[in-house]
Amino acid sequence: SVGYLFGLVDRPQLVVQSAEATDRILSLRSLDQPLTPRLRAAVENVKKLDSTRASILGRTIRPDLIVSEFTAVITPIIDGLGLQTAADLTTSTGRQVFALDQALRSDDLISQASSQLTSAVATQNAGLINLFSSTLLQLQFIIGGAQSYFTPDQYKLYV
């Protein structure tokens, strides 16, 4: 979305990616197992991105707002999965569940940081560099804290 704002991604590509992402998230509602109320509410919040996406297509939104509005939808979905609270860290499986949670959070932070850095370079806005730096610190904290739960191959993806 930030790439489109700065002419790095074309409109058809963005529209297709947005539709695919929305379809994947909304397909969670049709799983065999019912969603928890928390996850169901988080999935429904994806609709909040409709106006954000319209503003992106119209190029009428600031890049920092794109990141914050997507984050406000993505984080509750990750939280709604409940992986951190369900993970029994005394078992190998539980440690892998926890590592999955941390990987999801890390991947989201990487997306945020990439968007912030792209925006900072494109706009020469020092405030966006500060956001980027803050996001990198969060990312380092998560990766460092989860290192013992990642397999060696998983950890290599983040260093």
What is the per-residue pLDDT across 65-118, written as a single tens digit (0 to 9) for each? Answer: 999 999 999 999 999 999 999 999 999 999 999 999 999 999 999 999 999 999
- Model pTM above 0.85: yes
- Band (155; pLDDT cuts 50, 70, 90): confident
pLDDT tens-digit map of 111-144: 999 999 999 999 999 999 999 999 999 999 999 9
- pLDDT value at 152 more than 90: no
pLDDT of residue 30: 84
Nearest to 127 by CA among 117, 138, 140, 112: 117
Half-sphere exposure of 111 (CA within 13 A, CB side): 15
